[in-house]
């Protein structure tokens, strides 16, 4: 009697597309999801390829023609059904300067992408938004998904505009909007955190001063917890509401003062004294320093130094069964340990300029760290 061949046939995996697949989040996400799904990475030509676990398809999100060509390849190779599109591609510039690229890439690019996806059977569209779209709160006041929105610079404004377009253009596709806190990992990879560590590590004069209320702070999210949240969003896509926004972040927000003291203790064995500086004086200092060497602290940051964010993540717990397994305060010892073990490598991974005392430790033939552009 012949064995039932149906038991030996390979069942095709559900297809998942990741835009911005060469980035820090996209590349790790592909590795996380590859065992269970057929992964396809979409990104610009010339960017590093996504991991080998995904097919790389080059596309320009600002060109509908380019998007259509990329999706023709998807249709030819994998069919018309897509389980989930995880849309990470966006423009971001920490300089705070206005840029038409927020509109061109994040807003209009997403609209063009959705226009092309109408020709496909897409079960779910996941969009990476940000907690910065909300009106800042105060310590002890949690921000839920229905709280007031009040973006105060181009980046969060572009995210709100894109959320609106997704609501309007999604058709029958389920929309899952993940409003993410500031992402970091065990090596840093967070612009504000790595620069704060750098200032204290180098004992910079500016490391002792802050232009806002030091009891305030921003909310953060470990990379592994982010990947877990996205994976759960994909796995539970059939059970999620058709159009939903979900906060993803750590439930406890560390204050700036708490971070200062913790970092100072871990690096130098001492609590780091931090003094609040009046905003007008801080702006003058930031402006004058900006003339010499393009320092990290910019005058625009001073206006937002008092902003405070604490997220209510009860919706993520209920709908996704998600709670974070990390906290920034508990992760700082690992981040600082990596800095101490190999300062040159840590500076390079975090795209920081090497101080003169570390340049002598750099292997010959390698360039010192440079400014990272987003």
* Alpha carbons 61 and 84: distance in angstroms, whole number: 18
Pair (113, 73) in one structural domain: yes
The larger pLDDT score, comparing residue 99 to residue 357, is at 99
User: What φ, ψ does residue 221 adopt, rounded to 5°?
Assistant: -155, 120
* Alpha carbons 182 and 197: distance in angstroms, whole number: 16
Taking CA atoms, 199 is separated from 94, 161, 272, 301, 317, in Å, by: 17, 35, 11, 16, 36
Is 143 within the bounds of a domain?
A: yes
Contact 158, 109 (CB under 8 A): no
Pair (211, 152) in one structural domain: no
Confidence of residue 330 (pLDDT cuts 50, 70, 90): very high
Contact 53, 31 (CB under 8 A): yes
**Comparing 137-146, 189-198, 289-298, 318-327, which segment has the lowest mean pLDDT?**
289-298
Pair (212, 136) in one structural domain: no
Is 366 within the bounds of a domain?
A: no
Is 2 within the bounds of a domain?
A: no
Pair (176, 95) in one structural domain: yes
Closest to 161 (Cα-Cα) out of 177, 146, 141 = 177
Give percent of the chain above pLDDT 90: 76
How far from the centroid of its chain's Cα atoms is residue 84's Cα?
Answer: 19
Query: Has residue 73 got a pLDDT over 90?
Result: yes
Q: What is the token pair recorded at 179? A: 């409003």
Span 81-98, pLDDT tens digits: 999 999 999 999 877 778
Instruction: Please state the domain count of the chain.
Output: 2
What does pLDDT average to over the chain?
88
Closest to 127 (Cα-Cα) out of 83, 92, 165 = 165
Domain carrying residue 338: 191-216+253-308+327-359
- The beta strands (E) that lie in 218-263 are given as 220-222, 243-248
Span 194-233, pLDDT tens digits: 999 999 999 998 889 888 889 999 999 999 999 999 999 9
Domain of 179, CATH number, reads: 3.40.50.720
Pair (161, 268) in one structural domain: no
Query: Has residue 306 got a pLDDT over 50?
Result: yes
Handedness of CA 256, 261, 264, 267 (dihedral sign): negative
| Residue 208 per-residue DSSP state | G
Confidence of residue 10 (pLDDT cuts 50, 70, 90): low
| Residue 88 per-residue DSSP state | -
């Amino acid at each position: 009697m012949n064995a039932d061949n149906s038991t030996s046939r390979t069942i095709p995996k559900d297809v998942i597309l990741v835009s911005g697949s060469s980035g820090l989040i996209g590349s790790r996400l592909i590795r996380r999801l590859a065992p269970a799904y057929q992964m396809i990475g979409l990104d610009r030509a010339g960017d590093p390829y996504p991991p080998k676990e995904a097919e790389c398809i080059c596309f320009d999100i600002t060109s509908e023609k380019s998007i259509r060509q990329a999706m023709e390849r998807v249709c030819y190779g994998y069919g018309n059904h897509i389980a989930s599109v995880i849309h990470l591609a966006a423009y971001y510039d920490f300089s705070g300067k206005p840029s038409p690229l927020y509109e061109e890439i994040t807003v209009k690019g997403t609209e063009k992408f959705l226009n092309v996806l109408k020709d496909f059977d897409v079960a779910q569209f996941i969009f990476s938004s940000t907690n910065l779209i909300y009106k800042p709160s105060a310590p002890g006041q949690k921000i839920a998904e229905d709280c007031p929105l009040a973006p105060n610079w181009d980046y969060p404004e572009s995210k709100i505009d894109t959320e609106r377009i997704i609501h309007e253009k999604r058709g029958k596709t389920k929309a899952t909007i993940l409003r993410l806190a500031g992402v970091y990992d065990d090596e840093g990879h967070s612009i504000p955190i790595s620069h704060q560590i750098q200032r204290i590590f180098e004992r910079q004069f500016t490391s002792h001063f802050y232009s806002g209320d030091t009891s305030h702070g921003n909310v953060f999210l470990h990379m592994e917890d982010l990947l877990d949240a996205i994976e759960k969003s994909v796995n539970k896509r059939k059970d999620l509401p058709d159009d939903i926004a979900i906060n993803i972040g750590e439930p406890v927000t560390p204050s700036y003062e708490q971070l200062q003291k913790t970092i100072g203790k871990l690096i130098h064995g001492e609590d780091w004294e931090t003094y609040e500086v009046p905003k007008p004086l801080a702006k003058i200092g930031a402006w004058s320093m900006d003339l010499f060497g393009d320092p990290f602290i910019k005058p625009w940051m001073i206006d937002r130094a008092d902003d405070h964010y604490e997220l209510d993540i009860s919706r993520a717990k209920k709908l996704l069964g998600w709670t974070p397994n990390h906290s920034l305060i508990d992760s700082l010892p690992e981040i600082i340990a990596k800095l101490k073990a190999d300062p040159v490598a840590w500076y390079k991974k975090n795209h920081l300029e090497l101080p003169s005392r570390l340049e002598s430790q750099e292997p010959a033939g390698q360039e010192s760290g440079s400014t990272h552009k987003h």
